[in-house]
Amino acid sequence: MTARARRHEYGAATRGFLKQSPVMIPEYFNIAEACLMSHARDCPNAVAIIDLSGTACIWTYGQMAEAAEKLAGLWRDQGVQKGDRVSILLPQCAETLIAHFAAHLIGAVSLPLFVLFGSEALQYRLADSGAKVVVTDLQQYPKICEIRNSLPELEQVFLRDGQKNGALDFWKSLEAPRAPLEPTQTVAEDPAMMIYTSGTTGSPKGVLHAHRFLLGHLPCLELSFSDFPNGADVGWTPADWAWIGGLMDMALPCFYYQVPLVAKRFDRFTAEAAFALIRDTKVTRAFLPPTALKIMSQGKVPKAARLVSISSGGEPLSPDLISWAKTKMGAEVNELYGQTECNLSAGSARTLGVAKTGWIGQAFPGFDLRILDVDGQVVPYGEIGQICVHRDTPSMFLRYWNQPKATAERFIGEYLITGDLGLMDAKGYLQFMARDDDVITSSGYRIGPTEIEATLANDPRVIMAAAVAVPDPTRGHIIGAYVTVVDAPQEGFEQELIANVIRQLSPHMAPKWVRVVSEMPMTATGKIRRVALREMAARALVPRQTAG
């Protein structure tokens, strides 16, 4: 069914998304077949990717499919089986999606990893997942070498830009002739992808998704992106494809709809660079996190850098920012709501009249979203409760990897507890109120404090550590940290702690500041009261903001 036909099936948005037909899930479904192989058969010369990650290169569906088939055949010959995990530690580039599709062709599970992760963050995820294969590049490879001995299940490493110290050259490995690949038939419920998410307690959890979860993203794309696809579209996002926002809010849907995708993530995001890319590649649709929009709103918009529509999510958008995008870029901005466990479950569609200032929007077709109390009962309209989504929705995760207890605890009856507090009005509009946990959202990333705190506390001078969200006008929030110490620290102590987090975890997880306190605020059961620390951090901002 075409996108236009599906929009007609959903009906007029003014009748309310909640009343429309759910997404139909077939018995058999495979992401690689739907996004790549079918297009390669029907239109092999159509543009799939405009790859600007290095030397500019255009990839067709035929070229992508040929590479994915060869890689899948190689992995199968090497013993990669259905259900095995294949990790991808690469920036936005053609090889990233080739690796995803190759894994799906043989029924393996693809595992995207963020290139800014440090060796310890990578070691945990690779060991916990039991990944057999890593696809990476020369820049990232030293981190893999550092932890290789602690990864007994890792059998092979491929480098997209060469060969070194036992790692195979990605492209040369595909040159050897081999028998034609017979793709593995997958049912829609078969595991396809695992994305690690951070929480407030314990280690990061592997969120396992089925092939059908791609279909769960389609209502959002078709309704929030007006008249999408229209045959002239080009898509792009500055969000890294290692995260569900970059990969599933833009990259894979572009392939599904046969919309050319620009591959480029800037090392340093600037308004000038973003506008130049949009102008030069004729981007029409973009997923832009709020931080990116805020930065772009401070720059001068070239006449040729205009978009048809923008989607955004992760943090609330101000009315001024929405108005700026419409006035200066000619694009409606639609807010999205979701999380790694169940993405794109609600949002706005301004061109269809589904938008309300200060509210996220309504649940998309196929998503039963409700506001429940702690007992799982629906709260009255206008009252605050837990934002919850029914488990029988198309983009719902299968389970947390090897954590059945954590999976069970995430549900109340038949509903996923998102961990967010919100309210709903009588028309089904959703308003986000607060986070019901301590996950920090900064520059579009959801960051759990546990890993940060553990790294800070590894320093022998630190007794206890707590990481919290601190309001920031550009990023939404930044990360701040409080520590108690053994003795009075020497000059430069705080910067050393920050450097440790950058080195061991990732720059995006590093606190912007660390402050020493005499004692931590604690609950009666011995837990750190992070809410008290957040309030302390917010109060510290008041004099500076007032003076400014």
Does the domain formed by 440-547 have CATH 3.60.40.10? Answer: no
From 17-26, 169-178, 195-204, the region with the lowest mean pLDDT = 17-26
Say which residues have a Cβ less than 8 Å from residue 282's Cβ, sequence separation at least 6: 234
Q: What is the per-residue pLDDT for 10?
A: 37
Residue range 81-114, pLDDT digits in tens: 999 999 999 999 999 999 999 999 999 999 999 9
Q: What is the per-residue pLDDT for 171?
A: 97
The rounded distance, in Å, linking the Cα atoms of 391 and 497 is 41
Question: Per-residue pLDDT for 398 more than 90?
Answer: yes
Tokens of 428: 């089904």
Mean pLDDT of 206-235: 94
Q: What is the per-residue pLDDT for 499?
A: 96
From 14-23, 39-48, 445-454, the region with the lowest mean pLDDT = 14-23
Query: Cis before residue 142, ω within 30 degrees of 0?
Result: no
From 29-38, 69-78, 428-437, the region with the lowest mean pLDDT = 428-437
Biggest distance spanned by C-alpha atoms of the chain: 71
Question: Per-residue pLDDT for 45 more than 50?
Answer: yes
Sign of CA dihedral 28, 39, 261, 85: positive
Residue range 359-383, pLDDT digits in tens: 999 999 889 999 999 999 999 999 9
Backbone torsions φ then ψ of 88, nearest 5 degrees: -130, 105
SS3 545: helix
Is 387:430 a contact under the CB 8 Å cutoff? yes
Geometric angle at alpha carbon 196, from 35 and 513, rounded to 5°: 125
Is 91:99 a contact under the CB 8 Å cutoff? no
Burial code (b: 16+ CB inside 10 Å, e: under 16) for 33-45 equals bbbbbbbbeeeee
Question: Per-residue pLDDT for 118 more than 90?
Answer: yes
Tell me the one-letter amino acid at 65: A
From 158-172, 402-416, 438-452, the region with the lowest mean pLDDT = 438-452
251 pLDDT band (50/70/90 cuts)? very high
Tokens of 459: 């320093």
Going by their DSSP bridges, the two strands 47-51 and 261-263 should be labelled as parallel
526 pLDDT band (50/70/90 cuts)? low
Mean pLDDT of 316-330: 88
Q: What is the per-residue pLDDT for 450?
A: 77
CB burial of residue 327 (10 Å; 0-12, 13-18, 19+): exposed
For helices 119-129 and 493-504, what crossing angle results, to 10°?
40
Going by their DSSP bridges, the two strands 133-136 and 85-88 should be labelled as parallel
The rounded distance, in Å, linking the Cα atoms of 112 and 399 is 17
Q: What is the per-residue pLDDT for 69?
A: 97
Tokens of 354: 């589904």
- Which one, of 386, 450, 23, lies nearest residue 196 by Cα? 450
199 pLDDT band (50/70/90 cuts)? low
Q: What is the per-residue pLDDT for 451?
A: 84
* Rg (alpha carbons) of the chain, rounded to whole number: 23
pTM, to two decimals: 0.85
Tokens of 84: 């095995």
CATH of 30-186, one of 3.40.50.12780, 3.20.20.120, 1.10.443.10, 3.40.50.300: 3.40.50.12780
SS3 244: helix
- Which residue is associated with the tokens 């997942």? 129
Q: What is the per-residue pLDDT for 542?
A: 53
From 22-26, 109-113, 119-123, 332-336, the region with the lowest mean pLDDT = 22-26
- Which one, of 395, 450, 440, 398, lies nearest residue 419 by Cα? 440
Q: How far is CA 431 from the centre of its chain?
A: 21
DSSP string, 304-357: T---SEEEEESS---HHHHHHHHHHH--EEEEEEEETTEEEEEE-BGGGTB--T
- Which residue is associated with the tokens 């008249």? 227
Using CA atoms, how far residue 219 sits from 5, 16, 32, 383, 428, in Å, is 12, 13, 20, 27, 17
From 3-17, 236-250, 253-267, 516-530, the region with the lowest mean pLDDT = 3-17
Using CA atoms, how far residue 155 sits from 124, 132, 148, 151, 451, in Å, is 16, 5, 10, 9, 27
SS3 180: coil
Shared fold status for 30-186 and 440-547? no
Residue range 458-472, pLDDT digits in tens: 899 998 899 998 888
Tokens of 466: 């707590």
Q: What is the per-residue pLDDT for 536?
A: 87
546 pLDDT band (50/70/90 cuts)? very low
The rounded distance, in Å, linking the Cα atoms of 498 and 505 is 10
Mean pLDDT of 296-314: 90
Question: Per-residue pLDDT for 436 more than 80?
Answer: no
Q: What is the per-residue pLDDT for 153?
A: 97
Per-domain residue ranges for the chain?
Answer: 30-186, 440-547
Question: Per-residue pLDDT for 525 more than 70?
Answer: no
Question: Per-residue pLDDT for 2 more than 70?
Answer: no
Query: What value does the mean pLDDT of the chain take?
Result: 89
